[in-house]
Amino acid sequence: MTLKVVEKGRISTTIHLAEIGDVELSSLKSPNTNAVTKQKHLALLHGKYWIGCDCNNKDTPYLTIRKSINSYHLVNLNGHGRHLKTCSLSTENIKSNEKPVEYEIIDNYISLEHTPSSNNHLISSDECTIFPLLLKILCKAGFDSISSKHNYNSNVLSLLDMGIEGVSFNSKPLPEIFNLGYGHFNKHKQSILDGIHKELLICDVMDEYVDDGKSLLFKKHYTKKFFTSFRFYKSFTQIDLVSNSKTSMCKGPYFVLSNLKDISSDKGKTFIAPSFVAVIPVSSKSQWCVVNNDHERQVVEQLLKSLAWYHDKTEYDCIITKPFYPVQTSIGLCHPDFIVGDAPVKQVIEVMGDNTRRYEAQKLASHIVMSSIGEVSVYDPFNKSKSQQNEHCFNISKMAITKSKFKKEK
């Protein structure tokens, strides 16, 4: 038994690093290892890898390495496994490294420490990202469910009511620093200049963006002619764009979350700008579930149509989720695209995102795990005309809802 190393976010594959053997890895668990050696190993792992703890094979807990001003330390990742209570890496036992936890802390984020020697106020190649925060608030707000009850205005309310509640960012409760819309950018900037806030978060749902190499210009359309826009410069904002290389991800809408803070260099000029922005495609302005490609948007659309049809005819309502995180099943971890219906009768809809052999083989393996959730239907949009795609997608969506209805009634 030993700790394992995985690439961040890819817990299925264990990595073996030449620089760190099993013995060195295990010593990270021991509190009395020579600090210099320990720091050296943590520095090596920092930014790229997570550590999986060996105390609980059933639900392996993962830790990330966080950098503070002059040291590295291990931080447990929320939602990734649970240590046994006796484990030296359990949250209780490494808490001494952490600020007191009142709110749910979003991990994976490193605030930039400006040491006097640093002449570069811009982003280091660290693991800076607010992407986990974005996913967390969308999930807490309930946008992982697909429902005809969602619309833009109700989504805004859910976000402010449930999404940001009980979450903190850089030890600030989100309700104090969270803002909607880039329209008030100058006002937010001023409140930082005035010292009212040190850092703010701004989010919005934007329709499209243009990448000119140096910046990303986001636009939000209100009418055909009227839109607002906001530009992120790559030279001082680290852009975390979640995109799928194979399928066109240029289309919006996107959920955009950025921070805003003083990122001045030590030359004396005050400079307030976002240091990070995370961008993720959502299904539509009314359904803020995270999608990987336009084919998934197609499925959301068809599912909503089928739901509306059933609701009209029979008042049948069905729970549909688009899981944002992997799901633990009795035979392993998997990440279904859609789950239709609730226990005990669930259907899984999987959308093929690629048509390479390798992808298909991987998908097939994951479908086996998903079949422990429910019957798996596959929407494969490849090698089909647009109208064939529509028909195929319609049939799969309607069938899933139909099955969930009739199996439930039995």
Residue numbers at the binding site for Zn ion (CB under 5 A): 53, 55, 83, 87, 89
Nearest Cα to Cα of residue 47 among 86, 9, 79: 9
Q: Which is nearer to Zn ion, 32 or 385 (CB)?
A: 32
> Which long-range CB contacts under 8 A does 382-387 form with residues at least 24 apart?
382/352, 382/355, 383/355
Minimum CB distance to Zn ion smaller for 29 or for 403: 29
Residue keyed to tokens 């106020």: 121
Residue number with CB closer to Zn ion (53 or 318): 53
Calculate the alpha carbon distances from 259 to 45, 99, 189, 198, 273 in Å. Answer: 26, 21, 11, 10, 8
Q: How far is the CB of 332 from Zn ion (least distance, A)?
A: 20
Comparison of 57 and 154: residue with beta carbon closer to Zn ion: 57
Distance CA 271, CA 276 (A): 14
Q: Return the closest-CA partner of residue 276 out of 289, 263, 292, 290.
A: 263
Q: How far apart are CA 43 and CA 240, in angstroms?
A: 23
- In the complex, what is the shortest distance from the CB of residue 88 to Zn ion, in angstroms, rounded to a whole number? 7
Integer Cα distance of 319 and 145 in angstroms: 7
- To the nearest whole angstrom, how small is the minimum distance from the Cβ of residue 57 to Zn ion? 10
- How near is the Cβ of 11 to Zn ion at its closest, in Å? 14
When the beta carbons of 91 and 244 are compared against Zn ion, the nearer one is 91
Nearer to Zn ion among residue 62 and residue 109 (C-beta): 62
Task: Give min distance, CB of 330 to Zn ion, in A.
Answer: 22
CA distance 28 to 17: 15
Smallest CA-to-CA distance from 367 within 378, 357, 379, 355 is with 378
* CA 83 – CA 75 distance, rounded (Å): 12
CB of 54 to Zn ion, least distance (A): 7
